[in-house]
Structure 1
Amino acid sequence: MSCCCWAPFLGIRFGLPDDRVLPGSAPVRQVYDQVRANFPAEEADALHVVTSGGDPAGIAAYAGRLSRIEGVVRVDSPAGSFTGGRRVEAATERMRDRLAVVPSSRRLERDAVGLVREVRAVPAPFATRVGGYPAELADYRDGVTERLPLVAGLIVVVTFAVLFLMTGSVVAPLKASLLNAVSLTVMFGALVFVFQDGHLSGLLGFTPTGSIEPSVPLLMFCIAYGLSMDYEVLLLSRIKEEYDRTGDAVAAVPAGIARSAPLVTAAAVILAVSFAAYATGRVVFLQQLGVGMALTVLVDATLIRGVLAPALMRLAGPANWWAPRPLRRLHRRIGLAEEPAPVAPVPVYGRV
């Protein structure tokens, strides 16, 4: 099951959001639908290249090279307008120290980030800075995704440390991280399968763009990971409590599950219904959050925590609570433990 859910995510493509995140009835969406259908060039989304000096011959050569990039319709420069490496119009005063790289609608839709990189990679005989709306969104995407591995690593390390302090085990935190990864595959796989590839687009009423805006998976990862770990803490705390009380690593698993399962199930149903309400929205970002999170919560609370977690703990037996001797000493000194509730004295009546 995990492999099947993870497979669609292997083909994820991060892209830039546009008007198609809105429903077809929105006026802005209708305008851009007409632009895409009837106008080959995206004048409003041109890349602006600011130069620092440069002679007319150097600017002309640079503009000619830019105009030969695939998907570039025209380059307007102080040396004139260029198409396919040839000058097609004379220079104008309005382009002083600036070049405008006008892309085609198809190239922007297919690979706007790649276009920005190709423009920045063209050598120039002078210093340049590339801006404009596509460049702004490409830099935003790179800024969001650049440190994702670091963020994910920090979350896993902090989670491992907290669970170790709670359980005194290194096996339980590793198992929790593994199960959380399995749970997240469901969410990311659904995100790609439904919203990138366009399955169920007719039912949900959105237009697939073939890519995912990078901040959406990041937000969903943080929410889903936190909720999954909440369920794990509830289960582990009750199982650990039974194990400490009885010393039976096998019997503690069903006993702890029986005590915590009703709470986990009720919380999961409430959260899933709440998230599913977002799927009825008309903005794709809300639909992605609703479908992905509702599915993840339900699968995590049933298959992951209700089936896989007890099965793994039953197979591991006493090894669930294993830790190296130095770490056991560390846990005895700084570990987190629930204090038993004080027993109130029983009043005795009838005595003088």
Structure 2
Amino acid sequence: MNDHSLARHRPGTDGALARLARFCHRRRRLVVLAWIAGVVALAIAGFGYGAAPENDFSGGDSDSAKAQALIERHFPERQGDTLTLAIRTERGIDDPVARRRIEKTLADLAASPVVGPVTSPYQDRSLATQDRRIARTTVPLTRKEVDKTEVKPLVEMVRNASGDGVTLALGGTQAEKAETPPQGSAESVGILAAAVILFIAFGSLVAMGLPIVTALLAIVAGIALMKLVGYVVPAPDFTVVIAAMVGLGVGIDYALFIVTRYKDGLRDGDEPETATVKAIATAGHAVLFAGTTVVIALMGLIVMGQRLMTGVAVATSAIVLVTMIAAVTLLPAFLGFTGHKIDSLRLPRRTSRERRTLAERWAGVVQRRPLVSAVLAGAVLVVLAAPTLSMRLSNPDASVQPRDRSSYLSYEILSEGFGPGYGAPLIFATEVGSGHGDPRPLVAAVGATEGIAYATPPQVSADGQAAVFMAFPTTGYQDEATADLVHRLRDDVLPKAPGGDGVYVGGPNAATVDTADDVGSRLPLMIAVVVAVSLVLLIALVRSVTIALQAAVMNLLSIGAAYGVLVAVVQWGWLGSALGFPTAMPITTWVPMMIFPVLFGLSMDYEVFLISRVREEYERTGDTRAAVAHGMARTAKVITAAAAIMIAVFTTSLLGSDVAVKQGGLGMAVAVLIDATVIRLVLVPAVMELCGKANWWMPGRRAPKRAPAPSAEAGESAVGEEIRV
């Protein structure tokens, strides 16, 4: 056989990826310099001139969106955001000492350039309780979007003004944002944890550093690109944190898989360039497929029909795409510099002489009792997923913030003085005049509804074309009874009330209810689309309908179990305080629809890396049992390390202060843990053992030919190599 034929039959030596890897390895200085220049340019443009986040989830055809549109059209003076000053006194607000302190605070607030006219509770007696111990006033902001750096000094000023038996607190959405500190050291902790895991897995500081440096450069470029894309497809402010977590996790994992293949090549006697080419052409091929699966799964968010969630999908996909490109271009250039020094600065360790690894022995245990193993694992997943049936969706408000926040103290004072529903007002908007009736009978009907504490008199717009009034529930923002009240008003009260036709129920509370209902109705469609598209891709990759279906079902089980654990911790409060959740609360509306595509894509990643090894062994031997055992033995270490990195990165979100981001991080960490343990260690070997040769069913596919004796080179064929056979 001539040299050309040998190259053609030698795994990982030909093809587009092989040529790319060879170029990046040989022109490593040029590639690294180009990457550094590109990252610097993107960072300057993105971080210096990128689009600001957008957090307005309103819009669409919901009742609350129509109410908001009506208010914006006829009440331009109500467009600015507001804060609420809450006041609690021991001797009453009319006490001379208390009054001086309160009036000085009001004057200091009014002197701020971002604050409009402030009405004093001494001017409007309705702003205080009957015993005059608790009072409130609205602090209007001069602009609809005020930067939190302008609001934070107001929050601190009010906090510091408390004393002499007077407690003052500033609440409102902008106050909550101003008080919420940045994620801080959470990402640094995640990187440190990943470094420790990589050092243990590789036993070398050099091998540990390559995935981290590659991932960090990719994340900086990806976040900067995400900010620039925000001009075309805006995204909310939590996107950066979520996208950074996902990017850090997949970036390190993808580099980990490639470096592992590179080290295997060197161990088999390949020269550094050959080992690099094989690693990129094989493991890199699987990385590109895995990353593409994550991107396609994220694009499933577009099905939700929410403009900002489309922005989340595009922004997060941008980071994943950059990490994929870095893995197959920047990493081979780095490998060109390290060469045989990849194992430099090693961790001393004993060399094991065991012929069978722990993973292989464990697979044998499961395969001897496959039915029992599958039933037990399935039962565990079903039990964990059961709480999902009681999942409630809402958005965080002041009542679920940390207890030391001014916004929570404001909520507590106002709830004590004016009822828990004061922070959950419903805003009713309707047209008047030109055939529309007097809104006062309507106000009376709403005020008499069970669950309504009181309703305000109607306010007619300056053009006389619209009217608004507010109603305050007897229950709080997060209470299920408040959501039920919104539905009852719309379905029963307003249709029967005089002039109830054409009345829209809006406000932040009703908008949250509408968003939760919309997510609940569209989430099954998104799940179906993501599963269907991923299924087609996986069938094309592994060329097995049975394995693709197994993967889809197992991924759904692991994500359902993660949802269930999230409900138990966050909504039911089990271990919630230990994990940093101030109180039991509903699941934030965007969390389930955001983490599903991310988790489904990541689960497919691990499926690809495991099954491709199993299939490699099966194609070689035709023995499913041996193929599963050997495949697990060959991938257990790298998949365990990859999963541990993901868990560490996602868990660091619990160190932050944003309760919604913490929910997302917890859900993703639990799902990866379940996927790497119950799914990969128990269900996969058990189900594949039960299916036997049916695992490899594919219409029109022929049975594999057994190789007479595997060569060392063929036996070390990389992840994803056999996929292209």
The TM-score bracket by the shorter chain reads 0.7 to 0.9
For 2:537 and 2:413, the matched residues in 1 are separated by: 54
Structure 1 stretch 54-63 or stretch 311-320: which is displaced more?
A: 54-63
Alpha carbons of structure 1 residues 150 and 214: separation in structure 2 relative to 1, 3 Å: same
The one-letter code of the counterpart of 1:202 is S
The one-letter code of the counterpart of 2:486 is V
Residue number in structure 1 paired with 2:650: 275
**1:262 aligned onto 2:648:** no
Residue number in structure 2 paired with 1:72: 452
Residue number in structure 2 paired with 1:344: none
Secondary structure (helix, strand or coil) at the match of 1:156 reads helix
Residue number in structure 1 paired with 2:667: 292
Q: Deviation string for 1:114-146 (max 9, x for gaps)?
A: 232223231253532332222222223233333
Secondary structure (helix, strand or coil) at the match of 2:694 reads helix
**Deviation at 1:44?**
6.0
Q: Is the 8 A contact 1:69 1:118 kept in 2?
A: no
Q: Deviation string for 1:296-339 (max 9, x for gaps)?
A: 212211221122101111221111011334xx49xxxxxx9644
Q: Is the 8 A contact 1:41 1:102 kept in 2?
A: no
**Deviation at 1:63?**
2.0
Paired residue total = 319
Alpha carbons of structure 1 residues 93 and 241: separation in structure 2 relative to 1, 3 Å: closer
Q: How does 1:90-239 map to 2 (within 5 A)?
A: 97-110=466-479, 111-121=481-491, 122-123=494-495, 124-125=498-499, 126-239=501-614
**Deviation at 1:72?**
1.2
Q: Deviation string for 1:272-302 (max 9, x for gaps)?
A: 1111111122332232233322222122112
For 1:133 and 1:101, the matched residues in 2 are separated by: 12
Q: Is the 8 A contact 1:45 1:102 kept in 2?
A: no
Secondary structure (helix, strand or coil) at the match of 1:50 reads strand
Secondary structure (helix, strand or coil) at the match of 2:432 reads coil
Secondary structure (helix, strand or coil) at the match of 2:439 reads helix
Residue number in structure 1 paired with 2:407: 28
For 1:135 and 1:314, the matched residues in 2 are separated by: 51
For 1:39 and 1:142, the matched residues in 2 are separated by: 29
Residue number in structure 1 paired with 2:398: 19
Residue number in structure 2 paired with 1:85: none
Secondary structure (helix, strand or coil) at the match of 1:102 reads strand
Alpha carbons of structure 1 residues 173 and 128: separation in structure 2 relative to 1, 3 Å: same
Alpha carbons of structure 1 residues 20 and 49: separation in structure 2 relative to 1, 3 Å: closer
Alpha carbons of structure 1 residues 306 and 39: separation in structure 2 relative to 1, 3 Å: same
Q: Is the 8 A contact 2:429 2:503 kept in 1?
A: yes
Q: Is the 8 A contact 1:73 1:102 kept in 2?
A: yes
Residue number in structure 2 paired with 1:5: 384
Q: Is the 8 A contact 2:414 2:422 kept in 1?
A: no
Q: Is the 8 A contact 1:75 1:99 kept in 2?
A: no
Q: Is the 8 A contact 1:201 1:207 kept in 2?
A: yes
For 2:638 and 2:460, the matched residues in 1 are separated by: 71
Match of 2:426 among 18, 40, 47: 47
**Deviation at 1:17?**
2.0
**Deviation at 1:204?**
2.5
The one-letter code of the counterpart of 2:639 is V
Residue number in structure 2 paired with 1:62: 442
**Deviation at 1:108?**
3.6
Q: Is the 8 A contact 1:42 1:103 kept in 2?
A: yes
Secondary structure (helix, strand or coil) at the match of 1:323 reads coil
The one-letter code of the counterpart of 2:390 is G
Alpha carbons of structure 1 residues 322 and 191: separation in structure 2 relative to 1, 3 Å: same
For 1:179 and 1:161, the matched residues in 2 are separated by: 16
Q: Is the 8 A contact 1:187 1:292 kept in 2?
A: yes
For 1:44 and 1:22, the matched residues in 2 are separated by: 13
Q: Is the 8 A contact 2:490 2:505 kept in 1?
A: yes
For 2:724 and 2:504, the matched residues in 1 are separated by: 62
**Deviation at 1:67?**
1.4
For 1:100 and 1:298, the matched residues in 2 are separated by: 50
TM-score, normalised via structure 2 length: 0.41
Residue number in structure 2 paired with 1:346: none
**Deviation at 1:223?**
1.9
Alpha carbons of structure 1 residues 190 and 73: separation in structure 2 relative to 1, 3 Å: same
Q: Is the 8 A contact 2:420 2:476 kept in 1?
A: no
**Deviation at 1:261?**
1.4
Percentage of identical aligned residues = 35
Secondary structure (helix, strand or coil) at the match of 1:251 reads helix
Q: Deviation string for 1:209-244 (max 9, x for gaps)?
A: 442122112222222211111101111111111111
For 1:57 and 1:239, the matched residues in 2 are separated by: 73
Q: Which runs of 5+ in 2 are unaligned?
A: 1-379, 703-720
For 1:22 and 1:259, the matched residues in 2 are separated by: 46
Alpha carbons of structure 1 residues 183 and 45: separation in structure 2 relative to 1, 3 Å: closer
**Deviation at 1:45?**
4.2
Match of 1:243 among 600, 614, 618: 618
Alpha carbons of structure 1 residues 312 and 166: separation in structure 2 relative to 1, 3 Å: same
For 1:108 and 1:281, the matched residues in 2 are separated by: 23
Secondary structure (helix, strand or coil) at the match of 1:254 reads helix
Q: Which runs of 5+ in 1 are unaligned?
A: 79-91, 330-335, 341-352
Q: Is the 8 A contact 2:576 2:584 kept in 1?
A: no
The one-letter code of the counterpart of 2:590 is S
Secondary structure (helix, strand or coil) at the match of 1:182 reads helix
